[in-house]
Amino acid sequence: MKPAAFDYVRAETLDEALEVLRQEGSDARIIAGGQSLMAMLNMRLARPRTLIDIMRLPELARIDAKGDTIVVGAGVRQAALLAWPELGRSLQLVALALPWTGHAQTRSRGTVCGSIAHADPSAELPLVLQALGGEVHLRSAKRRRRVAAREFFAGMMTTVRAEDELIEAVSFPAAQQRCAFREVARRHGDFAIVAAAAVQTAAGVRLAVGGVADMPVARDFPRLEGSALDEALNAFAYELDARDDVHATARYRRDLVRLIGRDLVREVLP
């Protein structure tokens, strides 16, 4: 199908984009790479009156290392982050998960922040943001605020972003801890049936799971072994409230959480 009609605003400064958002609120949508939004427009699942293109703003197309934090601007495409020479050293988990995000043909245009804004429960970037405890930098004409990943996602494709706000950047802590990522999908690059990431913590491990609940969920575990670990993972798998859909049953998803979860925990806590 084709999109319904909309005005297309090509912002030349961030203030212009924010001003249109202030005036038009939920009737306006930000478009960056468009790799999630365009599909929704084509299927008319979204019918904004105005699209605001922010890809001509050079200040948003930046990756900045600020101390222990890596700030990725709203104009940074997934392919650009994947090609960033520091990625493997500073953001190992992102380096592991990004090749699973869509395909080369969508990463070329899709942005990091766009995927997080879209908040698909099975998408990899929201999961990684959640696993690393990153932050979303929101900005409106009136204010700026930072929201922690665990508070940003509010449900199925829903976030706490207000109607007049846009995501200016997301930040990831540059982690030196051990981490691991695993995903099961019907076809490499398709949305995950289950995706999971594990990060070593002071007390043990944080495990984050996507594709099961309405949003990516992270949980901290102490160092556990054997049947204690299996039981903890089983309880976690049930808490995620898996559902049946055309791709997989709830039971299969719980199985994957238990199996992948155990593999990942063993990988980061050898």
Partner 1 sequence: MSRLQAGRRHPVRFSLNGKPCTGEAEPRLLLTDFLRHQIGMTGTHVGCEHGVCGACTVSIDGSPARACLTLAAQVDGCEVRTVESLAPSAGRLGILQAAFKRNHALQCGFCTAGILMSLDCLLRDHPRPDEATIRDFLSGHLCRCTGYAPIIRAALEAAAEMAGDVSRETTHA
Site of interaction with partner 1 (CB under 8 A): 1-13, 16, 20, 31, 34-35, 38-39, 41-43, 49, 51, 53, 55, 79, 99, 102-106, 108-109, 187-189
Beta-sheet strand order (sheet of 63-66): 63-66, 69-73, 166-173, 135-139, 144-148
Nearer to partner 1, 4 or 235 (CB): 4
**Residue 65: CB minimum distance to partner 1, A:** 25
Compute the least distance from the CB of residue 207 to partner 1, in Å.
27
Closest alpha carbon to 36 in 96, 132, 136, 116: 116
Break the chain down into helix, strand, coil percent, rounded to 5. 35, 25, 35
For partner 1, which is the closer residue by CB, 43 or 148? 43
* Shortest reach from residue 81's CB to partner 1, in Å: 14
Q: Which residues of 149-183 are buried (b: 16+ CB within 10 A; e: fewer)?
A: beebbeeebebebeebbbbbbbbbbbbebebbbbb
Distance CA 166, CA 53 (A): 12
Tell me the closest approach of the beta carbon of residue 150 to partner 1, in angstroms.
29
Find tokens 């222990």 and name the residue.
68
> Is there a contact between 77 and 108 (Cβ–Cβ < 8 Å)?
yes
CB of 171 to partner 1, least distance (A): 26
Q: State which H helix or E strand residue 235 sits in.
A: helix 226-239
Nearer CB in complex with partner 1: 4/160: 4
Query: Nearer to partner 1 by C-beta: 15 or 86?
Result: 15
Smallest CA-to-CA distance from 224 within 198, 243, 194 is with: 198
CA–CA gap between residue 43 and residue 2 (Å, rounded): 7
Q: What tokens does 182 get? A: 């695993």
Q: How far is the CB of 174 from partner 1 (least distance, A)?
A: 27
CB of 78 to partner 1, least distance (A): 11
Nearer to partner 1, 173 or 189 (CB): 189
Question: Which residue, 104 or 235, has its beta carbon nearer to partner 1?
Answer: 104
Compare residues 51 and 256 and give the one whose CB is closer to partner 1. Answer: 51
